[in-house]
Amino acid sequence: MINKFLYTFIGLLLLLTSCKKTVNETTTSDPVVKDSIIKYTDRFDKLLAYPVDSMSFPRSSDHYGKIKKVPSKDWTSGFFPGSLWYIYKLTGNQKYLDRAKEWTTLVEKEKSNNRTHDMGFKIFCSYGNGYRFTKDTIYKNVIIESAKTLSTRYREKVGAIRSWDFNKKEWDFPVIIDNMMNLELLFEASLYTNDSIYKRIAYQHAQTTLKNHFRKDNSTYHVVDYDTISGKVRSKVTHQGFADESSWARGQTWGIYGYTMAYRYTKDSLFLEQAKKTAHFFMTHHNLPDDGIPYWDFNAPKIPEEPLDVSAAAVMASALIELYSFTNEQKYLDFSDKIIENLSSQKYVIQSETDIPFILDHSTGNWPKDDEIDGPINYGDYYFLEALFRRKELINK
């Protein structure tokens, strides 16, 4: 059952889409709607006001409001323009469309960067949304070129796409669960070109990951390292989680989202079943707080004093909406609604007077390196906005 908050919030988005009035001119007797209009349009405008600069994509912010700025080669560069695309679709306001186009253009040079597996995060979150919402063939051509580049990292013997090039003294061919998210770029490229090679690579990568990344309890390892000669697994470890055998929260949601998305393109029932099983692991874990916003690792030793990871919750909320669309199991939609409602509370939304280009607080990036702990991170915003967009589309249907 859709809760009252979701009806109110989606109603607000539809209002913003169809109404030409400004925020100050909008009238409503519902105080929740009034509060939401002021809260979200203010945060959206913080993103809009951030100056366009090819070397300064806003990635995160510390507790003092200092913004971490990165160039387009950083794996997170696609999330900021992607967020602007979603804000445009949620509000219908042309100014967000114009700014989304400006920022998206600055990511184009990454289409030939073969030193990273993060082509999907960078290109598909920016150019992918650009093409989906405008059908401009310029965007499609960049996606196809990016798919060609990403395909060069595939190793037939392993049956997977290489994730990282660093740490070569310890790893031979590392594959991380995050890499499932980059497969959407390849699946779409096959549709655009009628060339099955991209889908074949993506499908095989998903099958290899399914075989080796998941534990008996359906949680996922972060990193699986392969031998390039034999193709066999060398080790299963973590890089951003608490320990090799712990369950890093965002890693679980990458897996749920990734296999739900892979099912969309392949209709392989094993992919859908894995998404459901790992979602069950997440949703029923005894260390998950009541509001559905996880600690950064389900096995972190100082729970409940550990930092939360809003970004993991946002990915989960978005993934569960699509999982619901394939299964029609109400529990997935209800859990997503709960996350969206709680992330929309004062506890997680950045205060209006805080002048930084982010929406949500309390994400955790890389705890082992003490990097981006308990603060705003752009991919948390991106998947939160995607969840709202998917929820709006579901109601429209």
How high is the pLDDT of residue 150?
Answer: 98
Q: Is 337 a catalytic residue?
A: no
Q: Is the confidence at residue 7, as pLDDT, over 80?
A: no
pLDDT at 37 over 60: no
Does residue 16 carry a pLDDT above 60? no
For residue 285, give the 3-state DSSP assignment. coil
Q: Where are the domains of the chain?
A: 1-49+283-397
Q: Is the pLDDT of residue 180 over 60?
A: yes
Task: Please give the single-letter amino acid code of residue 385.
Answer: L
Going by C-beta distance under 8 Å and a sequence separation of 6 or more, which residues neighbour residue 209?
160, 175, 177, 179, 180, 224, 258
pLDDT digits (tens, 9 = 90+) for 200-242: 999 999 999 999 999 999 999 999 999 999 999 999 999 999 9
What band does 396 get if pLDDT is binned at 50, 70 and 90? confident
The predicted structure's pLDDT at residue 291: 98
Residue 85 has pLDDT above 50, yes or no: yes
Residue 396 vs residue 263, higher pLDDT: 263
CA pair distance 170, 237, nearest whole angstrom: 11
Question: Which residues, 6+ apart, have CB-to-CB distance to 242 below 8 Å?
Answer: 248, 297, 299, 300, 301, 367, 368
Alpha carbons 296 and 373: distance in angstroms, whole number: 9
Any bridge partners for residue 377, and if so which? 60
pLDDT band at 47 (very low <50, low <70, confident <90, very high): very high
Supply the CATH classification number for the domain 1-49+283-397. 1.50.10.10
In terms of Cβ atoms closer than 10 Å to its own Cβ (0-12, 13-18, 19+), residue 62 is middle
pLDDT at res. 10: 55
Q: What is the pLDDT of residue 184?
A: 98
DSSP code per residue over 298-356: TT-TTTTSSPB-HHHHHHHHHHHHHHHHHH--HHHHHHHHHHHHHHTSTTTBPPTT--S
Single out the catalytic residue among 178, 297, 337, 381. 178
| Active-site choice (45, 74, 118, 297) | 118
Q: Which residues contact 114 (CB under 8 A, 6 or more apart)?
A: 149, 150, 152, 153
Q: What is the pLDDT of residues 354-388, one digit of tens each?
A: 999 999 999 999 999 999 999 999 999 999 999 99
pLDDT for 38 beyond 70: no
Q: What is the mean pLDDT of the chain?
A: 91
- Region 145-161: what's the mean pLDDT? 98
* 232 torsion bin: left (phi>0), alpha (psi -120 to 50), beta (else): beta
The answer to whether residue 178 is catalytic is yes
**In the prediction, which pLDDT does 352 show?**
86
Given a cut of 80, is residue 23 above it in pLDDT?
A: no
